[in-house]
A and B are shown apart, each in its own frame.
Chain A
């Protein structure tokens, strides 16, 4: 196999050449993952797309194995998960990989989103790429929520009850929608059944949207830390081996942290109450969602009105859809936005504050803190971003990626 930039690849292997002539998958791989010109200046934040992809594949692989041993029945679900943990060979490994994998998938995706926010990856011409990413986030949230219900522990049951009940805030049809979601008049066996079916279905839809995300990415190529477009071959390197190798290294580093949790503290990210079988007659002292939902849970509870809370919670994600049009600055990367740079970091702090508020009962200082943080969250996107883009004076942009890289090397 030999190829140079731009020229169609020539395959020496006859079988590959035969197949490729009829179905050009090898040409596709060659073009999109080998010679694909990629900015030469990525930092390690650019690893998290690859890391998230690895986590998605890992979740599906472990999930399929778990599904072959799991019983989606309210009477049997809890014990079947424990049977996987005890009697299925290496079942404990598969289950802990899956359970902690959800958390680490979210860690990877949240860092990936932060990367996009900081370096302006959502700006033209990558708006659809960004929006597809938000769709993936929404699908992930739905999948994770339904997956958490499956072990049918106390938090599964009561989490499902609280979250599905949110829909009852919708005027007029709310209660009917909740009954329809439950498949009855309470969270029960039909709810568990459908959540299992959907939990198995949605990841494959995520795969499809990820494919669209990648197609959209490969139209204009990746953004980069400078936020300026590559101007020629001196600004780029072929994807392989430069970024396959760098992504591979990043993936392994990420897996080390993940493995530390899976093997040495597999239950530290979950709630102990989910090892108590679901009991509709006993409400836990506190109903807390998984950590990756806590900021949104805090927004929900910060609003003293149920419908308002639900709208704000979904609004917190919806606002991301229109982010490309809220940001009026023509400069992508925060490296050249002296003021906005600090506000992005403030937003991160704000989301962490929301997460801490979401983990605690809404009393004392947590109430005003959650409200203030909620106000800032929306202020950031709806007011600060449009205004700041107009008044901020960005730093001068380098004339090319190569120039900036070489200057850094010299200095």
Chain B
């Protein structure tokens, strides 16, 4: 029996090791890049949940700063109720924007937004977005936290990783060919990033009175964007804990049954 048990452990350990080694190898080694800041996110781990207050503040940062250039196309205004906003608040937020539509006479019009509308894009189309931003459209932020190596830590790193030109060492300026008009970011591949530093101390005035420091704004908006990328994370974690507990109990029962059935064969 002990031999069987160890074989089984070996298989499980092997499968896990295989899976983990693959995770390790797929992650591309970033050469000459500083390690990303490791933030203690509320949504980390199997019991993680989104800090609602942080996510609401993050939405305020997105609305007042990021949304000038970045769309959030996969979200509807109605989704905001999941962050704890009331339906009336969501209606008011949606009504604040004018969205293009076609009226009953078939004429193009602009009307106040509704909760069932997608978040309004800052530019009518990709070409307009590119033209207004030096030739390259700013990426949509709907799944940005899942679309970058490092996830929330990467986005947080980018938002807090700007170094002003006069603080750069001569070596950095030379090595990365930085000019006075460039934006230097510690965590961006190649360091020269098209986006000027978007956030700074007191960039927004939080409605809940929280002090708007740069790290505070950055971690708030990353919490909001993490929710936007993975809105069902809390349901997923809750279901996962139950499923795994169920499977563990079931495995125990099946093992006991299996032993009883095999009792006369060993």
Contacts and interface: CB of A to CB of B under 8 A. Distances in A.
A252 B243 CA distance: 11
Contact of A242 (B146, B189, B243, B261): B261
A237 B146 contact: no
A260 to B, nearest CB: 7
A249 B254 contact: yes
B265 A245 contact: no
B22 interface: yes
Contacts of B241: 263
Interface string B207-241: 00000000000000000000001011001110111
Contacts of B12: 253, 257
Contact of B244 (A82, A260, A272, A408): A260
Interface stretch (A11-19, A37-45, A165-173): A37-45
Which bracket fits the contact residues of B?
35 or more
A308 B243 CA distance: 48
Interface string B4-38: 10011001101110110111011011000000000
A75 interface: no
B148 interface: yes
A230 interface: no
B258 interface: yes
B146 A275 contact: yes
Contacts of B251: 249, 252-253, 256
Interface stretch (A22-30, A54-62, A351-359): A351-359
Interface string A379-411: 000000000000000000000000001001100
Contact of A286 (B28, B79, B247): B28
A76 interface: no
B248 interface: yes
Contacts of B189: 285
A296 interface: no
A241 B257 CA distance: 10
Contacts, number: 135
A200 interface: no
A213 interface: no
Given A256-B251, A259-B247, A359 B74 contact: no
A82 B74 contact: yes
Contacts of A40: 265
Given A40-B265, A82-B74, A254-B15, A245 B254 contact: yes
Interface stretch (A85-93, A183-191, A335-343): A85-93
B146 A263 contact: no
B7 A43 contact: yes
Nearest to B260: A245
Interface string B142-162: 110011110100000000000
Looking at chain A's contact residues, the main secondary structure is helix
A245 B258 contact: yes
Contacts of A272: 146-149, 151
B157 to A, nearest CB: 15
Q: Which of B19, B21, B243 has the most CB of A within 10 A?
A: B19
Contacts of A409: 266
A111 interface: yes
A45 B14 CA distance: 11
Contacts of A271: 26
A356 B236 contact: no
A262 B240 contact: yes
Given A242-B262, A264-B237, A79 B74 contact: yes
A291 interface: yes
Interface string B101-136: 000000000000000000000000000000000000
Contacts of A237: 265
Interface string A234-276: 0001000110011011101111110111111011110111011
Nearest to B1: A409
Nearest to B232: A92
B255 interface: yes
A294 B24 CA distance: 13
Contact of A252 (B79, B254, B266): B254
A248 B256 CA distance: 12
Contacts of B196: none
B15 A269 contact: no
Interface in A330-386: 352, 355-356, 359-360
Given A82-B74, A249-B255, A409-B266, A263 B244 contact: yes
Interface of B: 3-4, 7-8, 11-12, 14-16, 18-19, 21-23, 25-26, 28-29, 45-46, 74, 79, 139, 142-143, 146-149, 151, 189, 229, 231-232, 235-237, 239-241, 243-244, 247-248, 250-251, 254-255, 257-258, 261-262, 265-266
25 contacts: A40-B265, A79-B74, A86-B232, A92-B236, A103-B19, A111-B11, A241-B261, A245-B254, A245-B257, A253-B251, A255-B247, A257-B12, A257-B15, A261-B19, A262-B240, A263-B46, A264-B46, A273-B147, A276-B139, A276-B147, A294-B22, A355-B25, A356-B25, A360-B29, A409-B266
